[in-house]
Structure 1
Amino acid sequence: MEAYQTPLGQNQSQDGFSSVAPGAVKDGLVPKARRALVIWFQENSEVKKGAPKHEFLNEMKHLGAVWQGMTAKQKAPFMARSKDEFMAQRSALAVLGIRMRGSTTSAGGPDEAKDPPAADESGGRVGPFELNGARAPIGGGAYGSVYSCQHPQSGLNVAVKVYRGSDGPADCRHEVEKMKLLMKAVPQQKMMWFPLLVSSGVTGRPWPWMATSLCGPSLATALRNPAAHGKPRTWSVAAQLRSALQTLHDAGILHLDVKPGNVLWCPCTDQVQVCDFGMSENMARLQKASQAPRFLQYVTAAYRPPELWPARVNVDGDCGVRKQLLTAAVDMWAYACVVFEVETGNPFMPKGEAGLRAWCKQWPELWKTRSDLANCPAASHTCCTKVLRAGKWGLFVLVGCAPDPGKRRWPELCLNQK
């Protein structure tokens, strides 16, 4: 099997797993992790450093026999310390983009983290992470807030999402499960398009939280303030975002909330990552007759395709959206809208629910006359002008925003669009 370079410059096989932990420890990038027996041996051995080799071997045999005769209660403190060390190492490796095989680390450490400390933004930390600089959140929404923090072991920056409200634990658990599914289903070389799960506190107090690697500001932030962050290149964003969403769909996951605020962009490397899987759904789950959609509506309004707009919340409390409408075509539409916004600096669809509903009713007729947008009806001038302003990206948007989801396709990227 071919190998490629990890962020540490060591070989890693394409199945996505690695044995680079020793090198990372040696370089001081991650803390060391010891088995329980090693911890006990180092604290009870009477052989001093520099003694002859045979003395160490004899001591190991003697203490090994003592360890075998100890009760589970006597071993428990050393097992707990070993577990803590392996979880600290595993988290630090995750920040570096290295994940470990199966349910244990390559050194045999456990996979489950201990119950995390309480989240306390006012005290300068969230969970076990220290807030970076200003304590204002770097993002937020209906679920809560996202903070820039520092990883306690590696010192690298991470993004910590805090879930507030009565549904916080359920929302946190759902997103953590989706992140774990991603790391399991997506090949390592394609995880570059998604943040890496570092650790989480579903039962965190006072609020649940989830920590992931930090890529950079969102496209929404960059587009609002290009002087501070630079202007994202449309072709690069379009190519990377398409690859990310196709990778998600291949893994059986629909994002269902693609928008500039959920796409991260690193100005230094031009790297794009898709984040926020709070609304995401498993395709397999939606195919089960007994399973209903989790939400009344999906996708932020300004990026929601026409097929989802007629949905209304029923009086009896049933979901307003039929799950048959939740397909990859929903992400395609939102994707084309995001690319349009990166290119022009303006949203493709109007603001306000009333305006959006009217626009979605008008769009199918306008789309039929897409070959002659310059001569579109007076009532459609606003829509036509928007598409024409996209220039060489106009056809791209028309393909991705086909009114019929069955005819919607991933727009082709051409070299003349660079």
Structure 2
Amino acid sequence: MPDALTIVPPGRPLRGRVAPPGSKSITNRALLLGALARGTSRLTGALKSDDTHHMANALRAMGVGVQEPDATGFTVTGTGRLRAPAAPLFLGNAGTATRFLTAAAALADGRVVLTGDAHMQKRPIAPLIAALRSLGVAAEAPTGCPPVTVQGRGGFDGDAVTIDAGLSSQYVSALLMLAACGRHPVTVALAGDAIGARGYIDLTCAAMRSFGATVEQQDNATWLVQPGGYAARDFHIEPDASAATYLWAAEMLTGGAIDIGAAPEAFTQPDARAHALILQLPHLPAEIDGSQMQDAVPTLAVLAAFNDTPVRFVGIANLRVKECDRISALATELSRLVPGMAVEDGDDLVVTPMPVGRFRPARIETYGDHRIAMALALAGLRVPGVTILDPGCVAKTYPDYWRDLGLLGVVLQPAT
């Protein structure tokens, strides 16, 4: 992969069929649940990317058998227990793996240290640490971010936990998946109403039930999880909805027809809600609430640059604690195309579209963030001279992104 790629506007509708990879969110949930189950689970349709490889490698280090029989499959053999790893678990910038394994480390038979790259060491995890402590789990993260140390005791005795999920729904998902391995029924409750991307909690509960757990949502802010652990099973993973948003957007920006092999209504992931908005280009609404489809916001923000009227994105404060500060990144990088086109207003992002004739060539900084790279590349479908720096960062969730654009007829030129 070159250090930079320049997208050549195709000048014609993009047509063809490309299949987005399997869901990152579901793959990492299924890997962990299979690891906590007794027996062998076969996962199909899975994503093979940096994030899921970090999860698989960490599980291997904790005594789980994880094999990869083909390009989209994992075979996971667990004993219902986890072993303390011999060395710290390095998880790159994989938020799902880091948060899920921080909770699961309570089930290990000794000390577990979880760390990541420089970006991961800036992503908050203190609310999850506080929640684990309330369950009697010995856990600490001195900076409030990784590295994390958990002293696993093979289980836990707590029966109720309250979690502040204002920064991430992943905290709730981590606790729910741990709760099924408790010694008693566990009540998981939200502290307040604020929660990022609630739909991902529904995704977690569905996956837990698929692996034999009993989890009941008692009200809008409370779940009851019964003990009993998980059972091995064969499990198919649907395509990644966040990845699909780039292909849906490419179709709209070029007036093309791209078959991704799955209908929008077939997705269970929250980001699939973005499809209905994407179809409205160039008449996107004046205000878009991104709180329940956070990973689709970069895609929608780039589309807003080609809308007929300005768009304000609200409910997106959590984007500041993703792989980078995505609100700031989007404002900065869109404004390289037309100065002032995107601005931060508190924790909102306001994008004011400009005539394409006012756009100028730009070298787009990606901040090591796969979603900034993939979303801003979409602008290059209409604007000459858009160059994406560090294009290899897409390997985090969509390693074949550039190949798939090429299959659709987009010319990508290595740049310096």
Of structures 1 and 2, the one with the larger relative CO (CA 8 A, separation 6+) is: 2
Normalising to structure 1: TM-score of the pair? 0.28
The structure with the greater share of residues assigned to helix is 1
Normalising to structure 2: TM-score of the pair? 0.28
